[in-house]
Amino acid sequence: MASVFKRLNLLRGFAALALGLLVAGQPAFASSRIKDIAEVEGVRDNVLIGYGLVVGLNGTGDKTDDITFTKESLIAMLERLGVNTRDGKLDTKNIAAVMVTATLPAFSRQGTRIDVTVSAMGKATSLQGGTLLVTPLVGADGEVYAVSQGQVAIGGFSATGQGQSVTKGVPTSGRIANGAIVEREIPFSLNSLRDIKLSLRNPDFTTARRISQAVNAYLGTRVANPLDPSTVQIAVPASYAGSVVDLITDVEQLRVEPDQLARVVIDEKSGIIVIGANVRISEVAIAQGNLTIRVTETPQVSQPAPFSATGTTTVVPRTDIQVDENADKRLAIVNEGVSLQELVDGLNALGVGPRDMIGILQAIKAAGALNAEIEVM
């Protein structure tokens, strides 16, 4: 009998050990990878812009007599090709002046291709079937980093008749997949860095400290230091010298639990309210109700009997006034320290709509009972 109890205790011990290992192997609640909440400083995209011409349109382009910059651009292009059109009259609607935009990814090498977006500037009604001519794309420093050209693909269409027109999407804007070739590289030597900086997407003191603690615990030495709420500096250890990519790869997979501010975001235009999980309020009484007066005019016509020699036709006013004082609304008490779910349930129980809820939250904040920040968009 004693051996049976010994075996049962042994099985219980193994079960407890297995459960402990299972729980320990699970990631922290609401934890995120450092890769998802921070970026490496210097590893960034760059925006490019250019001005060009789209040709080959089926009468849906700019009218050169009305759009001066389209006409001048066409003349300049033809002159570069050896065609003199200064003395002639250009009247065509098969060409459109466009702005060309693109994003140059980090570490893009010379000869690689990127996508571009083409948008009409003048009175062109559609870019369907058009071809973008050679267009240099410049950066903020005025240098040319890519050159684009190709067939424009639009996501909509436009059809017009004498009595009706149909437009779907935006036919005056389109894209060219792999429509630009990178001609200039942005110099940046990543592997020669002696330290890297992580920039938090949502700056926070607590989150920055947790990131530095996670990195130090993984590397076994104090190399990470939070400089401010949005920046964590990591000194490259000797074991990663000349291999910063390996360090970034290992660090960005670490998991931390980002902290959040207690914040209520309100969009007045659309009536959208977003309440953070850490929002708490002190004990407060809430009453919501509006006085509504509805006046309805239904005039009636009074006229004499048929074939009557006397009497006139008159309009008799009929007015109906209704007063709604929302007598069914009651004063409700919200207890101290309620959670987000309890706060929403309490306001919904009062029959409060999104618009009224915005006013209630602002009134609670003004009373000093809302322990959160209100941000109005």
**pLDDT tens-place string over residues 261-274:** 888 888 877 777 88
Determine the average pLDDT of the residues in 20-42.
68
Q: What is residue 356's predicted lDDT score, i.e. its pLDDT?
A: 75
Out of 78-87, 101-110, 285-294, 307-316, pick the least confident: 285-294
Q: Among 136, 123, 133, 129, which Cα is nearest to 174's?
A: 129
Mean pLDDT, range 144-153, rounded to an integer: 96
Query: How far, rounded to the nearest angstrom, does the alpha carbon of residue 296 sit from its chain's CA centroid?
Result: 45
C-alpha 117: how far from chain center = 19
Q: What are the tokens at 376?
A: 């109005």
Strand ranges for 236-324 from DSSP E: 255-256, 263-267, 272-275, 280-281, 284-286, 292-297, 300-302, 314-316, 319-324
Q: In terms of pTM, does the model score above 0.85?
A: no
User: Please, which residues have CB within 8 angstroms of residue 365's CB and are 6 or more apart in sequence?
Assistant: 372, 374
Residue 32: closest CA among 202, 196, 195, 197: 202
- Neighbouring CB atoms inside 10 A of 135's CB total 24
In this predicted structure, the answer to whether residue 327 has a pLDDT above a threshold of 50 is yes
**150: pLDDT strictly greater than 70:** yes
What residues have CB less than 8 Å from 116, skipping those under 6 apart?
A: 100, 101, 102, 132, 137, 148, 175, 176, 179, 180
215: left (phi over 0), alpha (psi -120 to 50) or beta: alpha
Neighbour tally for 360: CB within 10 Å: 17
Q: Is the pLDDT of residue 217 over 70?
A: yes
Q: Read off the pLDDT band of 260 (50, 70, 90).
A: confident
Stretch 20-47: mean pLDDT: 72
pLDDT for the residue 8: 40
How does the average pLDDT of the chain come out, rounded?
80
How far is it, in rounded angstroms, from Cα 47 to Cα 139? Answer: 6
Q: Considering just the CA atoms, what is the radius of gyration of the chain in Å?
A: 35
CB 288 within 8 A of CB 352: yes
HSE at residue 334, side-chain half, CA atoms within 13 A, is 26
Q: What percentage of the chain carries pLDDT values higher than 70?
A: 75
Task: Specify the higher pLDDT residue, 267 or 183.
Answer: 183
More reliable by pLDDT, 310 or 186: 186
Nearest in space to 74 (alpha carbons), one of 133, 129, 126 = 133
What residue ranges in 109-183 does DSSP mark as E strands?
Answer: 113-120, 131-138, 144-151, 153-154, 157-160, 165-168, 173-182
